[in-house]
Amino acid sequence: MATHRFHPIRYYNAIGTAEPCLRVADGDTVVTDTVDASGLDASEVAVASRPNPMTGPFYVEGAEPGDTLTVHIDRLTPSRATGWTNSPLALTVLDPAAILDRPPTQRVVWDIDGKAGSVRLQEPVKGLESFSPPLQPMIGCFGVAPAGGQALSTATSAQNGGNMDYRLFAPGTTAWFPVSVPGALFYLGDGHACQGDGEIVGTGIETSFEMEVTFRVLKRRILWPRGETADDIFTVGNARPLDQALQHATTEMMRWLGEDYGLDARAASHLMGQVVRYDVGNVFNPAYTVACRIAKRWLTKP
């Protein structure tokens, strides 16, 4: 098991089958840089549009279609002391009548204080002079190449992952992705210093990061992204409308409970019906994201 330090010189706005930037072995760790769109000039991006530039793809030896790639998020360290967000609230989260009174879009800068572990508006607005939420780094967009030689925009998400903007994709979490091409071809980027549920202003606090992740290949098949923290397991559905994303996440959780915890459909329904929690990853992008989450204290492996 080795640790690789990779400095990208090229970024991608689609997750697909580009030539690998680095080949790594099962069990290896990668430390690499990611950037937000404001940190690039046009020559550094592989395509003309600029949503969520990705670092990668990383080819993981031994990963084959039908396998699962797990990605443990070891560390997310902001690499500059500022980030940015947009306002006001996105059109997708407002009543139609409220859209008429919606102010123009405005970008603002936030100061990121790594030592204090907090973020703060660089120019406070009235009523938020003392507002300083905690620094809570997360990965907004990451995943593996989709099936069929496709390339999916990093503005959206699907079974391969992508722009899910789910707050639990944070340090200490292990993310699982279904492998559809040899080597998995893993991409990551879109780091947020902080973000509320839903990404309801269309951004988190976007900034550049140094990210450290560790790869493992599992010889098992999953259909949708999964994740595990110290306290919970969760499954992720990406689709639009929102109820379809919820259906994908719920069905994937039912499968997981059967595969690893020995629960048939009826037993899984008893458990899920009482203790499941649903989290909204994003309701801004073309595909919405819903996570189906269960606390580990309710689970016993056979």
Q: Domain 3-80+136-218: what homologous superfamily?
A: Acetamidase/Formamidase-like domains (2.60.120.580)
The answer, as to whether pTM is greater than 0.85, is yes
Tokens 């190449």 sit on residue: 145
Per-residue pLDDT of the chain (302 residues; tens, 9 = 90+): 899 999 999 999 999 999 999 999 999 999 999 999 775 544 444 443 457 999 999 999 999 999 999 999 999 999 999 999 999 999 999 999 999 999 999 999 999 999 999 999 999 899 999 999 999 999 999 999 999 999 999 999 999 999 999 999 999 999 999 999 999 999 999 999 999 999 999 999 999 999 999 999 999 999 999 999 999 999 999 999 999 999 999 999 999 999 999 999 999 999 999 999 999 999 999 999 999 999 999 999 88
Per the CB < 8 A criterion, the answer to whether 281 and 164 are in contact is yes
Tokens for 46, please give them.
């592989």
Cis bond upstream, residue 241 (ω within 30): yes
- Can you give the C-alpha Rg of the chain in angstroms? 19
Tokens for 90, please give them.
């996105």
Between CA 236 and CA 225 the distance in angstroms is: 5
Per the CB < 8 A criterion, the answer to whether 72 and 213 are in contact is yes
Tokens 């009235």 sit on residue: 126
Predicted pLDDT at 42: 44
Dihedral angle computed from the Cα positions of residues 187, 65, 19 and 176, in that order, rounded to the nearest 10 degrees = 10
Three-state secondary-structure class, residue 210:
strand
Predicted pLDDT at 159: 98
Between CA 184 and CA 104 the distance in angstroms is: 41
Per the CB < 8 A criterion, the answer to whether 228 and 170 are in contact is no
Predicted pLDDT at 46: 45
Predicted pLDDT at 50: 57
Asked if 3-80+136-218 and 226-298 have one fold, the answer is no
Query: What single-letter DSSP state applies at residue 100?
Result: T
Predicted pLDDT at 302: 86
Reported as type and span, the H/E element at residue 159 is none
CA 162-154-30 angle, to 5 degrees, is: 60
Predicted pLDDT at 98: 95
Crossing angle of helices 242-261 and 265-275, rounded to 10°: 120
Q: Domain 226-298: what homologous superfamily?
A: Acetamidase/Formamidase-like domains (3.10.28.20)
Predicted pLDDT at 138: 98
Between CA 266 and CA 254 the distance in angstroms is: 10
Predicted pLDDT at 66: 98
Predicted pLDDT at 267: 98
| Structural domain boundaries in the chain | 3-80+136-218, 226-298
